[in-house]
A and B are shown apart, each in its own frame.
Chain A
């Protein structure tokens, strides 16, 4: 049904347009072989769940089955376009090995059981631990792939009901630094910019963001601008020669771990050349003098040496960023998962604060998300903050939340920041957490240092519940596995990386006994008999729409205000929050008037030390930023913790392919996507390959102090001295099932180190060192 091969041409054909013009429509459709458009009985609205772009689409249904998808031309996000994962990914729903019944461990084996048995065991174990060891023995680890209604229910039952501080999302791995950098600069989470800024920008700068792979449709938008009249200049910071790098006006490929030095160098040039909007800085920011003093020490010559980047490229990039009328910056994992993550990501915000480039067309920051519903994990309080971007250290915020839930404020843990994932794992390791309930994520492939993670999660004293749609690596270690319904099989809302909320409606029935995550969580809460302080039920909702209405009350008056949104309104297309009854059309850009949600009364956090991560007190925050302005803060570059040596001469970085998502549980079961990227590979620079006498296709072994992986060599334009592995590949389709079969693994995270950014607590997947050797020559010789 689509005219072209979207595996070979992931961004589709060009629809060029000029600056300020409307992005033309282009409707992408894919129907199963043999299905004609007139055979489609219904088109059911949803948005993509395999990346964070939130492309609006409709699911084609015939005979009660999904038979295809079509992009929605009217939607602001994609104007009808779909990426390869959207076009083909829906087929995973009908994979033959979907979980269709609950499983329970009996005599060491997982066997099928019924819902009553499974849920009563889960609830009973929770109750027993609560009685014997207290709420600190209970942990929850969720995802960036459920729906808003499900996260809010989970946050309510965990924080307001059970009263545990141990709830986090796998958004910790992908988007924690985005949230933290926004909080540290603007006082609160919330994407400042809009995808529509691509239409207006003169310069588009991508910092550690391979948009061509992570948000293919938005990259199509950039390519369409580049193909049209007065195209933007593109600045790319990436150690790999990605499609973005190839399209770039300037490509900076810094040494791994030196992002902050590079950013300080760019800011040095902007300040030195006085490309600063002093009026804006004076009226709307604090901290300019300290930053100016700090970046004096980062002249381009020094930065060129630290980063191993040509000095003229630094100057060129700084001139583009410093002098263009309209700059759009985007940031992703190249910064978030690397050394000094939050400090580096904040320096991108600083460029925009220094130049007053916020809240206007073409002037924006997009601190991107990795996963489709990560924004909801964050705003609903399932990822390190309290629901509604409430500040755990602000007693008034806690009191408000307690009032909404009708519980005692003291029952909501707020003695410290909610426990982040890596610390939850540590508490599982030391045995103080004895019950871990994992929803929709696969830590046995996605967390760093997998041998450690396997050891921790396979302890007998841990009761592990896994709620998923397939028997993932992690599910194989579970005591109880709960089969979930997914996208297209349940209804709910989710919010993309530019704050656009979409409604995703049920198109087909889930397979077998599978139930929606919301239904399972509501059942769990009911069995725990969670009560409010007057003895009424804590959770008063039963359907997705009721849950959404409850969430609206929780969001009221907060930056992520949903009170103007209804399911009915969303049936007309995506809406960007904040959206109130006075502003039913929503809000395209934040901070238009240079005012931020940063007053001590409003802000989501009082800030943290950018080196130690220690939280500031309310007094410290108020002294620094009494009037709630934009915060210009910097930090010195420090070398990474692990550095190359004779034993480990390469720097290791991990990343993705555009054909797979996360741990490949869905995309690995889709024929077209599986064929497009069937097996793990390893990238080296041509100079490195040549120096060893290796060539494309040779089988290599990559070794770090943590483990070993074998993979075929691809010789690419990556910077010399660097080795790259994609992180998607695990063991569910290999003999080991959940671990390597033999000495060498397949998962990149066998190699990564346990270390995280002190501020955002995001693990550093793009750090560490490695050795590389050849096991056997490939077929090419």
Chain B
């Protein structure tokens, strides 16, 4: 397999992990309504990136078998219910900080992978790939910015106020 194919596959996997993480975080914090909704919206971005990678991979000799990872409906429902039951407690706020940190860390991996891909696209004068990398990377940065901002916004109340 050529090296570009490796990069595309890595990136595809990293986007998938980020999307899964965002969905888990969404479910786990259903009582925090903006986390619930936005994490889902942002997971959609990563899913779209995956589809785009599959599309550009094909003519470049990269075959990606999309794991048709249907959302785990049962575990998702359990997580959501648990969040609602724990909604009256303040301790899960600490869990939220940890979850946001994980999202951020996973998004950083994705971001770096897009940079690698963008550099390769420039070097090979692959305009289509470069356009995709630029567009998607911008959204990855916004996913990072969101998790970072939510973390900043939530930290004081979570840590300082009992």
Binding site for B on A (CB under 8 A): 133-134, 136-137, 165, 415-417, 419, 422, 426-427, 429-433, 459, 609, 611-615, 638, 641, 754-756, 758
Are B145 and A614 touching (Cβ within 8 A)? yes
Q: Do the beta carbons of B93 and A430 come within 8 Å of each other?
A: yes
- B93: chain A residues at CB < 8 Å are 430, 432
Residue of A nearest to B45 (CB): A611
How distant is A262 from chain B, measured CB to nearest CB, in Å?
A: 20
Docked-complex contact B34 and A136, CB < 8 angstroms? no
CB-CB nearest in chain A for B159: A136
- Given contacts A417-B153, A612-B42, whether A429 and B31 have CB atoms under 8 Å apart is yes
The answer to whether B142 and A609 touch across the interface, beta carbons within 8 angstroms, is: yes
Q: Are B90 and A136 in contact (CB under 8 A)?
A: no
- Residues in B with CB closer than 8 Å to A613 are 34, 38, 146, 149
Measured CB to CB, the closest approach of chain A to B31, in angstroms, equals 7
Please measure, in the bound complex, the distance between the C-alpha atom of A429 and the C-alpha atom of B156, giving whole angstroms: 17
A134 to B160, CA, bound (A): 8
7 nearest CB pairs, A to B: A136-B161, A614-B149, A612-B146, A614-B145, A430-B90, A432-B161, A416-B153
Which residues in B have their C-beta under 8 angstroms from that of A431? 88-90
Residue on B nearest A433 in the bound complex, by CB:
B161
| Residue in A426, A459, A641, A755 whose beta carbon sits within 8 Å of that of B31 in the complex | A426
- Any A CB within 8 A of the CB of B51: no
* B93 nearest CB across to chain A (Å): 7
Q: Closest approach, in angstroms, between the C-beta of B64 and any C-beta of chain A?
A: 25
B42: A residues at CB distance < 8 A: 612
How many chain B residues touch A (CB < 8 A): the figure is 29
Q: What are the residues of chain B within 8 A of A422 when measuring CB–CB? A: 33-34
Q: A430 contacts B89, CB within 8 Å? A: yes
Task: Judge whether B157 and A609 touch: CB under 8 Å.
Answer: no
The distance in angstroms between the C-alpha atoms of A758 and B34, with both chains bound, is: 7
- Would you mind naming 27 contact pairs between A and B with Cβ atoms under 8 Å apart? A133-B161, A136-B156, A136-B157, A136-B161, A165-B156, A415-B152, A417-B153, A419-B157, A429-B88, A430-B88, A431-B89, A432-B157, A433-B161, A459-B88, A609-B142, A609-B145, A611-B142, A612-B146, A613-B34, A613-B149, A614-B142, A614-B145, A638-B41, A754-B33, A755-B33, A755-B37, A758-B34
Q: Is the interface of B mostly helix, strand, loop or mixed?
A: helix
- List the A side residues contacting B149 at CB < 8 Å: 612-615
CA distance A426 to B30 in the complex (A): 12
Knowing A430-B87, A431-B88, A754-B33 are in contact, say whether A136-B160 is a contact too (CB < 8 A).
yes
Q: Does B115 contact A (CB under 8 A)?
A: no
Beyond A422-B34, A431-B89, A612-B145, list 18 extra A-B contacts (CB 8 Å).
A133-B162, A165-B156, A415-B156, A419-B157, A422-B33, A426-B33, A429-B88, A431-B90, A432-B90, A432-B161, A433-B161, A609-B142, A612-B42, A613-B38, A613-B146, A614-B142, A614-B148, A614-B150
Min CB–CB distance B96 → chain A (angstroms): 10
Query: A416 near B161 (CB under 8 angstroms)?
Result: no
> Could you say which residues of chain B place their CB within 8 Å of the CB of A429?
31, 87-88
| Contact assessment for B32 and A426 in the assembled complex, using a CB-CB cutoff below 8 Å | yes
| From B88, B89, B161, residue with most partner A Cβ within 10 Å | B161
A291 to chain B, nearest CB (A): 16
| Nearest A residue (CB) for B153 | A416
B38 touches A612 (CB 8 A): yes
B residues apposed to A, CB below 8 Å? 31-34, 37-38, 40-42, 87-90, 92-93, 142-143, 145-146, 148-150, 152-153, 156-157, 160-162
Chain A residues within 8 Å of B152, by CB: 415-416
How far, in angstroms, from A758 to B146 measured CA to CA in the complex? 11
Residues of A within 8 A of B146 (CB): 609, 612-614
Cα separation A638 to B87 with both chains bound (whole Å): 29
What distance in Å separates the Cβ of B37 from its nearest Cβ neighbour in chain A? 6
Q: Which residues of B contact A611 (CB under 8 A)?
A: 41, 142
**Distance from B99 Cβ to chain A, minimum over Cβ atoms (Å):** 15
Q: Please indicate the chain B residues that have their CB under 8 angstroms from the CB of A133 in the complex.
A: 161-162
Per DSSP, chain A at the interface is loop
CB-based contact A427/B157 at 8 Å:
yes
What are the residues of chain B within 8 A of A165 when measuring CB–CB?
Answer: 156
- Chain B residues with CB under 8 Å of A419's CB are 157
CB distance from A665 to the nearest CB of B (A): 27
Q: Which residue of A lies closest to B44 (CB)?
A: A638
| Shortest Cβ gap from B97 to chain A (Å) | 13
**In the assembled complex, how far is the CB of residue A432 from the closest CB belonging to chain B, in whole angstroms?**
5
Residues of A within 8 A of B92 (CB): 430
Please report the C-alpha to C-alpha distance between residue A416 and residue B145 in the assembled complex, in whole angstroms: 14
B131 to chain A, nearest CB (A): 12
B128 to A: closest C-beta gap in Å: 17
Docked CA distance A422–B152 (Å):
17
Shortest Cβ distance from residue A141 to the other chain B in the assembled complex, whole angstroms: 16
- In the assembled complex, how far is the CB of residue A621 from the closest CB belonging to chain B, in whole angstroms? 13
A416 near B156 with CB under 8 A, answer yes
Best-buried of A415, A433, A612 by chain B (most CB within 10 Å): A612
Q: Which residue of B lies closest to A422 (CB)?
A: B33
Distance, CA A555 to CA B32, complexed state (A) = 36
Known: A614-B145, A614-B148, A614-B149. A432 touches B162 (CB 8 A): yes
Per the bound structure, the CA–CA distance linking A417 and B153 in Å amounts to 8
Inter-chain contacts of A136 with B (CB < 8 A) = 156-157, 160-161
Chain A residues within 8 Å of B150, by CB: 614
In the complex formed, the residue of A with least CB distance to B40 is: A641
Cβ distance A341 to chain B, nearest Cβ, rounded Å: 14
A755 to B34, CA, bound (A): 7
Q: Which of A417, A426, A612, A755 contacts B142 (CB 8 A)?
A: A612
Nearest Cβ on chain B to A240's Cβ, whole angstroms: 26
Shortest distance from the beta carbon of B24 to any chain A beta carbon, whole Å:
18
The distance in angstroms between the C-alpha atoms of A426 and B29, with both chains bound, is: 12
For the complex, give the distance between the alpha carbons of A427 and B92 in Å: 12
Q: How far is the CA of A586 from the CA of B33 in the complex (A)?
A: 43
With a cutoff of 8 Å between Cβ atoms, the chain A residues found around residue B145 in the complex are 609, 612, 614
Taking a contact as CB atoms under 8 Å apart, the answer to whether B34 and A756 are in contact is yes
- Chain A nearest CB: distance from B138 CB in Å? 11
A416 / chain B contacts, CB cutoff of 8 Å: 152-153, 156
Residues of B within 8 A of A614 (CB): 142, 145-146, 148-150
Whole-angstrom distance between the alpha carbons of A134 and B153 in the complex?
17
Bound CA–CA A462/B56 (angstroms)? 56
A417 to B152, CA, bound (A): 10
**Residues of chain B contacted by A415 (CB below 8 angstroms):** 152, 156
Complex interface: chain B residues within 8 A of A754 (CB):
33
**Chain A residues positioned under 8 Å from B157 (CB to CB):** 136, 419, 427, 432
Q: How far is the CB of A78 from chain B (nearest CB, A)?
A: 40
Distance of A296 Cα from B130 Cα, bound (Å): 21
Closest approach, in angstroms, between the C-beta of A122 and any C-beta of chain B?
Answer: 20
In whole Å, how far is A320's beta carbon from the nearest beta carbon of chain B? 34
Residues of chain A within 8 A of B37, CB atoms compared: 641, 755
In the complex, what's the smallest C-beta–C-beta distance from A756 to chain B, in angstroms?
A: 7
> Given A415-B156, A638-B41, A758-B34, are A134 and B161 also a contact pair (CB < 8 Å)?
yes
Q: How far is the CA of A248 from the CA of B31 in the complex (A)?
A: 43
Between B32, B34, B93, the greatest number of chain A beta carbons within 10 A of the residue's beta carbon is seen for: B34
Name the CB-closest residue of A to B87. A429
A612 to B107, CA, bound (A): 15
Q: A756 to chain B: which residues have CB within 8 Å?
A: 33-34
> Which residues of chain B are near A609, meaning CB under 8 Å?
142, 145-146
Complex: how many Å from CA A620 to CA B6?
Answer: 33
CA distance A433 to B160 in the complex (A): 12
Neighbouring A residues of B89 by C-beta, 8 Å: 430-431
Q: Please, which residue of chain A has its CB at the minimum distance from the CB of B92?
A: A430
Whether the pair A758, B153 counts as a contact (CB closer than 8 A) is: no
- Chain B residues, CB < 8 A from A755: 33-34, 37
